[in-house]
Amino acid sequence: DAGVTQSPTHLIKTRGQQVTLRCSPKSGHDTVSWYQQALGQGPQFIFQYYEEEERQRGNFPDRFSGHQFPNYSSELNVNALLLGDSALYLCASSLWTDSYEQYFGPGTRLTVT
């Protein structure tokens, strides 16, 4: 049984560009949450998707958007990249009714130059 998978593993982009990160949840899970983790910090909640709708959103600008597909996989899109967007982006999956039990993927390391 595959756990949460994310792609790509690493990514280097230039300021102003756009990026799309992908996540496949653990089998049986229906909810995907995205987090940004800066070096030496805890994960910061970006948003959560359930039934293909954004259900919760953290304090992130509209440059951050997402999508959930019928197979529960999800994408995170970031437009107009800033240097400050450089971080580890983590995807976590869970059941909607038990979102306290989240399983994380290995993350995508994004570097903006």
Partner 1 sequence: QKEVEQDPGPLSVPEGAIVSLNCTYSNSAFQYFMWYRQYSRKGPELLMYTYSSGNKEDGRFTAQVDKSSKYISLFIRDSQPSDSATYLCAMMKTSYDKVIFGPGTSLSVIP
Binding stretches for partner 1 (CB under 8 A)? 4, 33, 35, 40-45, 48, 55-56, 58, 90, 92, 96-107
Closest by Cα among 13, 3, 5 to 77 = 13
CA-to-CA dists, residue 60 to 33, 56, 73, angstroms? 14, 11, 21
Report, in Å, the least distance between residue 50 CB and partner 1: 9
Peptide bond into 61 cis (omega under 30): no
Whole-number Å distance between alpha carbons of 2 and 6: 11
Report, in Å, the least distance between residue 79 CB and partner 1: 22
Contact 72, 92 (CB under 8 A): no
Report, in Å, the least distance between residue 2 CB and partner 1: 14
Q: Cβ closer to partner 1: 82 or 101?
A: 101
Q: Cβ closer to partner 1: 35 or 72?
A: 35
Q: Cβ closer to partner 1: 20 or 106?
A: 106
Report, in Å, the least distance between residue 51 CB and partner 1: 12
